[in-house]
Structure 1
């Protein structure tokens, strides 16, 4: 069986009869949602701190510059935090089915059947942490014990017949349908692209400091030569992490404001923002390096 998209409804059955709308979600109790959100915040802060340390503490006039050791420990901590966030996602994996008379949540040995008439409302998370999601409000006045994390709340709300025109719904829908996060994109952005300024500045340093493109290798061996290259690569990767973070914050603010002002245009604005952000990231950084080089 081919894998189903994480937030996509199940296709109709082979006999042509439509099945209940079913969505792959993550069911978070409040404590675990708070924990997951805190881990995300800590991981982001950790990566930014490590990047600042690398940018400010690598090239300090030493003959053989190296990234600060503390930055390496922070990177390892960020990797551990990332592992914990993935563990939580795995533990909270669930299926949410919308049937004509009830809603069914199935998660790791538990099954909850909720009569549709007992649900007063379904609300998009006001704070999309650790991601976008939906909370069910019961007519008894209490909230359902699990919040449903789903990248795109709009199909879930529409299937439930609940209010789906809130600006936050438009914001989450635009983000989920326009941004397609893939590992290949992350690798291009933060692994391969930093090699462009790395090769340029590394070779420039080799020629100025040692007198040729391979002079350090001939004089001191392969280890120091690769260490020097690695230092430049880590430096520019950290610089690009900070550069990308700046554009990401600005992009999200513009997209969020557009969703509140005109929810119907949220996807168009999001698409424009993402294209502009990519152009500024790749083109803007190359322009800055060229400007710095020509000074």
Structure 2
């Protein structure tokens, strides 16, 4: 998740506490840099995956992924490190008070009257994440744009004190971002299961079949060549099937996001339902459809 949702606004001694949001406040250039880094990371991983899938099994007795794949993996890690560093520098707190909003960003504090804000615009391109820009009545855009995974609570907080502001944000874009933030709650262990543990299932099946076909038994390679080549062969199958699943997940994600966006555009109140349908369909295709397709291809 790119940024946390709003904290609760309890009362302290009868006084309401201003809602506060943990955001990433981007100036235009750092935001563009963050978007570019995200695009480069995705492109690098997709190229890495297709390289592994199509150039690993080339007829060699003990195939291994191409040497270039290691450098591409290292490049992805370096780019990800830069992206995390950029997000760390941009971390900020956005608080909405009755007559102003306050942005605290790494020692800088901005207190802007709500009356000086002319309009709010949800980012049409949600990179490096969902967020919004504040157009001032002076005609200029506020120098920092808050990126928050779910902009809807922030819009509602601003709208409570200035109803004109909530009306300026595009409802379909806000509904799309809100549905994604609420339904898609990925954690690191979700990704670890999806792209580290789950690929072991098809990899193990194919690795075992290869051991019987090539070496005459489940541990034939181990008995003939030792533990090192045996584990290297298993690792190769795991790497290849991880790459296959990365490509399939990316392929399915494109129409899924398009369907979710169209649903939010046509009917913002139904955006969450459409998003839930899309994510369930994705999970079924990934965890059930791919194994079923693999079984049909190799065992029927």
TM-score class, shorter-chain normalisation, is: over 0.9
| 1:274 aligned to which of 275, 279, 282 | 279
Contact 1:168 / 1:259 at 8 angstroms: preserved in 2?
A: yes
Contact 1:10 / 1:23 at 8 angstroms: preserved in 2?
A: no
- Which residue matches 1:227? 232
Structure 1: how far apart are the matches of 2:291 and 2:6? 38
Contact 1:206 / 1:212 at 8 angstroms: preserved in 2?
A: yes
Gaps of 5+ in 2: 160-165
Structure 1: how far apart are the matches of 2:84 and 2:15? 36
TM-score between the two structures when normalised by the length of structure 1: 0.96
Matched residue SS, 1:144: coil
The 5-angstrom pairing of residues 160-239 of structure 1 reads 160-161=158-159, 162-163=166-167, 164=169, 166-239=171-244
TM-superposed deviation, 1:238: 0.1
Structure 2: how far apart are the matches of 1:261 and 1:110? 41
TM-superposed deviation, 1:287: 1.2
Q: How many residues align?
A: 291
Structure 1: how far apart are the matches of 2:224 and 2:6? 58
Contact 2:122 / 2:133 at 8 angstroms: preserved in 1?
A: yes
Deviations 1:96-121 (A, max 9, x none): 11101111000001000101110001
Structure 2: how far apart are the matches of 1:8 and 1:21? 7
Counterparts in 2 of 1:16 and 1:165: CA distance versus 1, 3 Å: farther
**Residue 264 of structure 1 pairs with residue 269 of structure 2:** yes
Structure 2: how far apart are the matches of 1:137 and 1:218? 70
Over the residues paired in the alignment, what is the CA RMSD in angstroms? 1.2
Deviations 1:138-167 (A, max 9, x none): 001000001110001111111111225521
TM-superposed deviation, 1:13: 4.3
Deviations 1:225-251 (A, max 9, x none): 000000000000000000111111111
TM-superposed deviation, 1:135: 0.4
Contact 2:6 / 2:19 at 8 angstroms: preserved in 1?
A: no
TM-score between the two structures when normalised by the length of structure 2: 0.94
Structure 2: how far apart are the matches of 1:201 and 1:181? 29
TM-superposed deviation, 1:71: 1.1
Structure 2: how far apart are the matches of 1:189 and 1:206? 25
- Which residue matches 1:36? 34
TM-superposed deviation, 1:213: 0.8
Gaps of 5+ in 1: none
TM-superposed deviation, 1:123: 1.1
Structure 2: how far apart are the matches of 1:45 and 1:229? 27
Structure 1: how far apart are the matches of 2:220 and 2:155? 64
